[in-house]
């Protein structure tokens, strides 16, 4: 920052952090924006670094048509007249190379604590506004567009998580600037992709704020119209340039909203660990709620970490309401709570939790009787929620709650609440229980697909595709869930991902792997016979294995055994509901192979038959074949690994068929 700006203490400073992978259009955006300000007489003063930046980029555009890769950090400061407000605004931009930024964003999780070398981390700490650049036309390598979207979505999600987690109530407004509009504005396919991308990012942002800040953030920072902006930075028309200015002015407004929001919240007292006496667990016991300290406040932010101001309310009237509900449930035995009732309980929990965290009641303001009532009501709520869970998970006859209905009810009870351990161990168990049910629900949905497809004997490829699509839907639900449990959520997401990959592998390869061995092969006849070679091979779907020779070895007068050259063989079996074992014998007299005999190995199929893997089971699978005096026992094992969620679905399938599917 240059000294010429230091005297303007009152003016607004917008220190803008940026992310955008290489070629996202960061440099061109900044260049065109500042140029536009200059052309329209809006710049009051600019730093030397700013002038240098403009000159360098102008030269580069003249010589090569574009700004060229940014290889070193550019510090750009400009004092600009606000288009609507009377005041001027000092913008402080950094231009950085996309390659470093992408690497730093990918590496965020591995940096513990403050790390000045990580540009993202540093900017999130120091800036008061952020632009996330994304080129939706993937103009650098259009052929890789799918991967480009996947990567930048993943990065956006990671970035959001990091920002919300790091900044807490000191909300950092992030604007998503989609560049190269002139390239894609008339391209239907890209417009559709853009819409989906923005929706997903928006969902993640809303979820992260709702979860972390309990909806005490300014609404504008998650307002889709305001934070997803599409621009063209090549100076095509004046309208295009105005859109660039609109991005900058939007940042000013969002920063103002965030600051206003912060002022309305109660400031904490020190930039050190703050310990609040909280009434827990409702004797007059005290629990410490520790707020993470922040090392340096962001620009323009008046104070360090702040905590939410609790709404003023009479806790007793809240208790009256919730007690009425709870008594009703007790009297009505097995009645399932309605969604509205669950919402009321959730409201109560949110209010009580916020109030207890931030406004510890002392003995004067809350009587012992109220404390006792509070304690009892939290216990009773936990009982009701646990009951809903039990009635989903365990067989409860007529009182069974279908999983889909129950999970959504649990979500309503528990959404938008932090870890409840400090307030009620029982309710914290309910939060954990929710994630178990969510997993069960995912497994149950797979089970239902497998069961239906099995009954209809439909093609296994279709069954795999349907399972995969269902898992993608479940993944979004898991991501969007507002129930506390980062670790449980992550574990479930990983389980879903592993299962999606399993389905994709099967669909792409149209086969699965296994090993097989001949356990025993014998011919016992009532008279001495010659030694006859046999072969066997396995046929399944579009594949068949090679021929495995069975060499005859005389055991006794009437008994001949057979052995294979190797102890076991690795095989690939095509996806199909049937596996055929074909056996041929050699005719020593005619000197030719006899017509092969076919044996169905899947008359008693395994649990994954609907997915085209009828031989697969958790354990080894043995099959016996008998034909005239020939007996063969073969064993299959070491199948392609099947993800745990699929086995859980198999478990559900047997539960559902015992009790009638919910």
Ligand X SMILES: Nc1nc2c(ncn2[C@@H]2O[C@H](COP(=O)(O)OP(=O)(O)OP(=O)(O)O)[C@@H](O)[C@H]2O)c(=O)[nH]1
Binding site for ligand X (CB under 6 A): 20, 22-28, 66-67, 69-70, 97-98, 179-180, 182-183, 232-234
CA distance 504 to 388: 35
Helix boundaries (H) for 307-363: 315-331, 339-358
State which residue, 66 or 459, has the beta carbon closest to ligand X. Answer: 66
520 forms bridges with which residues in the sheet?
633
Binding at 277: pick from Mg ion, ligand X, none (beta carbon under 5-8 Å per type): none
Choose the contact partner of 234 out of ligand X, Mg ion, none; CB within 5 to 8 A by kind. Answer: ligand X
Q: How far is the CB of 540 from ligand X (least distance, A)?
A: 51
Binder of residue 183, out of Mg ion, ligand X, none (CB less than 5 to 8 A by kind): ligand X
Q: CB nearer to ligand X: give 93 or 209.
A: 93
Nearest to 47 by CA among 97, 18, 6: 6
Q: How far is the CB of 139 from ligand X (least distance, A)?
A: 6
* Residue 109 C-beta: closest distance to ligand X, Å: 22
Q: Which does 24 bind (CB under 5 to 8 A by kind): Mg ion, ligand X, none?
A: ligand X
Run of H or E including 518: strand 511-524
In 3-state terms, what secondary structure has residue 78?
strand
Nearer to Mg ion, 70 or 617 (CB): 70
Q: Helices 368-393 and 425-456 meet at what angle, rounded to 10?
A: 20
Tokens representing 91 are 């913008």
- Give whichever of 27 and 258 is closer to Mg ion, judged by the CB atom: 27
CA atoms within 13 A on the CB side of 416: 20
250 in helix, strand or coil?
helix
Minimum Å distance from CB 40 to ligand X? 19
Of the candidates 482, 513, 478, which has an alpha carbon nearest to the alpha carbon of residue 497?
478
Q: How far is the CB of 144 from ligand X (least distance, A)?
A: 15
Minimum Å gap between C-beta 82 and ligand X is 24
SS3 of 71, please? coil
Question: In angstroms, rounded to a whole number, what is the distance separating the alpha carbons of residues 252 and 249?
Answer: 5
Of the two residues 138 and 233, which places its CB atom closer to ligand X in the complex?
A: 233
Q: Could you tell me the maximum CA-CA distance found in the chain, to the nearest angstrom?
A: 113
**Minimum distance of Mg ion from residue 16's CB (angstroms):** 15
Q: Choose the contact partner of 128 out of Mg ion, ligand X, none; CB within 5 to 8 A by kind.
A: none
When the beta carbons of 23 and 548 are compared against ligand X, the nearer one is 23
Shortest Å distance, C-beta 74 to ligand X: 10
State which residue, 177 or 495, has the beta carbon closest to ligand X: 177
Closest approach, Cβ 140 to ligand X, in A, equals 7
CB atoms within 10 A of CB 555: 12
Indicate the residue among 96 and 276 with the shorter CB distance to ligand X.
96
3-class secondary-structure state, position 327: helix
Cis, bond preceding 615 (omega within 30 deg of 0): no
Q: Which is nearer to ligand X, 88 or 138 (CB)?
A: 138
Closest approach, Cβ 645 to ligand X, in A, equals 40
**25 interface partner picked from ligand X, Mg ion, none, CB below 5 to 8 A per type:** ligand X
Q: Are 543 and 576 in contact (CB under 8 A)?
A: no
Strand 174-178 versus strand 129-134 pairing type: parallel
Residues that bind Mg ion (CB under 5 A): 27, 70
Contact 322, 381 (CB under 8 A): yes
* Helices 339-358, 368-393: inter-axial angle, 10-degree rounding: 140
Q: Which does residue 596 bind out of Mg ion, ligand X, none, counting CB within 5 to 8 angstroms by kind?
A: none
Closest CA to 573 of 514, 633, 518, 506: 514
Query: What's the chain's Rg over C-alpha atoms?
Result: 33
Nearer to Mg ion, 179 or 346 (CB): 179
Q: Which does 179 bind (CB under 5 to 8 A by kind): ligand X, Mg ion, none?
A: ligand X
């Amino acid at each position: 920052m240059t000294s010429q700006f230091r005297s303007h203490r009152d003016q607004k400073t917008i220190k803008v952090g940026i992310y955008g992978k290489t070629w996202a259009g960061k440099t061109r955006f900044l260049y065109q924006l500042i140029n536009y300000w200059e052309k329209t007489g809006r710049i009051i003063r600019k730093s030397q670094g700013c002038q240098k930046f403009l000159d360098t980029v102008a030269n580069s555009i003249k010589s090569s048509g574009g700004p060229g890769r940014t290889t070193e950090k550019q510090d750009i400061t400009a004092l600009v007249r606000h288009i609507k407000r009377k005041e001027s605004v000092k913008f402080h931009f950094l231009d950085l190379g996309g390659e470093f930024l992408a690497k730093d964003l990918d590496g965020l999780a591995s940096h513990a604590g403050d790390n000045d070398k990580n540009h993202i981390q540093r900017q999130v700490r120091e800036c008061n506004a952020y632009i996330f650049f994304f080129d939706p036309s993937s103009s650098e390598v259009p052929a890789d567009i799918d991967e480009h979207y996947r990567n930048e979505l993943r990065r956006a999600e990671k970035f959001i998580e990091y920002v919300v987690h790091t900044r807490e109530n000191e909300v950092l407004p992030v604007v998503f600037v989609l560049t190269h509009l002139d390239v894609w504005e008339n391209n239907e396919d890209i417009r559709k992709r853009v819409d989906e991308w923005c929706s997903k990012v928006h969902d993640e942002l809303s979820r992260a704020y709702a979860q972390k800040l309990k909806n005490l953030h300014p609404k504008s920072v998650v307002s889709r119209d305001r934070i997803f902006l599409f621009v063209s930075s090549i100076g095509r028309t004046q309208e295009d340039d105005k859109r660039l200015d609109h991005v900058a002015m939007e940042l000013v407004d969002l920063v103002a909203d965030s600051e206003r929001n912060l002022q309305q919240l109660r400031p904490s007292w020190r930039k050190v660990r703050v310990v609040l006496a909280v009434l827990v667990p409702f004797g007059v016991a005290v629990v410490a709620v520790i707020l993470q300290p922040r090392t340096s406040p962001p620009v323009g932010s008046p104070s360090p970490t702040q905590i939410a101001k609790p709404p003023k309310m009479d806790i007793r009237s809240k208790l009256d309401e919730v007690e009425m509900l709870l008594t009703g449930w007790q009297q009505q035995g097995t009645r399932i709570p309605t969604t509205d009732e669950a919402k009321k309980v959730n409201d109560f929990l949110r209010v009580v939790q916020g109030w207890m965290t931030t406004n510890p009641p002392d003995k004067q303001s809350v009587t012992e009787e109220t404390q006792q009532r509070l304690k009892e009501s939290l216990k009773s709520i936990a009982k009701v929620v646990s009951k809903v869970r039990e009635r989903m998970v365990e067989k409860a006859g007529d009182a069974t709650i279908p999983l889909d209905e129950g999970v959504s009810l649990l979500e309503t009870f528990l959404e938008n609440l932090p870890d409840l351990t400090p307030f009620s161990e029982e309710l914290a168990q309910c939060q954990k229980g929710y994630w178990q049910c969510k997993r069960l629900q995912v497994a149950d949905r797979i089970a239902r697909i497998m069961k239906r497809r099995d009954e209809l004997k439909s093609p296994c490829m279709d069954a795999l595709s349907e399972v995969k699509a269902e898992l993608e839907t479940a993944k979004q639900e898991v991501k969007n869930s507002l129930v506390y449990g980062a670790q449980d959520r992550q574990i479930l997401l990983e389980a879903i991902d592993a299962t999606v990959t399993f389905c994709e592998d099967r669909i792409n390869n149209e086969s699965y792997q296994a090993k097989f061995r001949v356990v025993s092969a014998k011919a016992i006849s009532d008279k001495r016979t010659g030694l006859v070679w046999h072969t066997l091979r396995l046929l399944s779907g579009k594949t068949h294995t090679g021929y495995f020779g069975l060499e005859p070895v005389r055991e006794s007068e009437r008994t001949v055994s057979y052995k294979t050259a190797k102890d076991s063989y690795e095989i690939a079996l095509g996806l199909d509901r049937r596996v055929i074992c074909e056996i041929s014998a050699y005719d020593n007299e005619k000197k030719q192979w006899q017509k092969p005999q076919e044996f169905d190995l899947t008359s008693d199929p395994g649990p994954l038959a609907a997915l085209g893997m009828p031989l697969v089971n958790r354990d080894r699978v043995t099959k016996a074949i008998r034909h005239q005096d020939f007996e063969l026992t073969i064993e299959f094992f070491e199948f392609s690994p099947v993800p745990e969620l699929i086995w859980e679905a198999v478990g559900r399938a047997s539960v559902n068929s015992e009790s009638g599917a919910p």
